[in-house]
Homo-oligomer: A and B are copies of this chain.
């Protein structure tokens, strides 16, 4: 690790790292759904994400959800309908615009989020138990940096 192995080009190291990063991120993405299912069995990953966004934003419109997650409005409509049926979301009229429904998590919806958050923290806490804080901090920082670059790229590509 120290010094420079001149039997390798610098670019080979980069390529190998990039390859590993891609492989591991993809592996994670593949597991995301089943992981999510364990974390909050009552909700699909999408439904959960939408609900979490509502909590994050202190309520928002279906259109906003669709735009933010690049989903069709019909998809959001049905997901929200399901969430409402489960009692996790309520629709409030927008006094300024009768077309709009402002979506909010219900108390029961907040409870689901809180429970999932606790469970997630617990699982991740165990999983990261032997990681020094420095590594955790750096890992988080790398991910943020990577995603910022990706979002910028996605925006320019579409």
Contact = CB atoms under 8 A, between A and B. Distances in A.
A143 B34 contact: no
Contacts of A121: 15, 18-19
Given A10-B133, A21-B124, A128-B149, 14 more contacts: A13-B136, A15-B121, A15-B125, A16-B140, A21-B140, A24-B147, A26-B32, A28-B28, A28-B147, A31-B150, A127-B153, A138-B138, A139-B142, A139-B146
Given A31-B154, A138-B142, A139-B21, A26 B38 contact: no
A90 B16 CA distance: 29
Interface of A: 10, 13-22, 24-32, 34-35, 38, 45, 49, 69-70, 120-121, 123-128, 131, 133, 135-140, 142-147, 149-150, 153-154, 157
Nearest to A10: B133
Nearest to A48: B26
Contacts of A145: 131
A128 B14 contact: yes
B18 A125 contact: yes
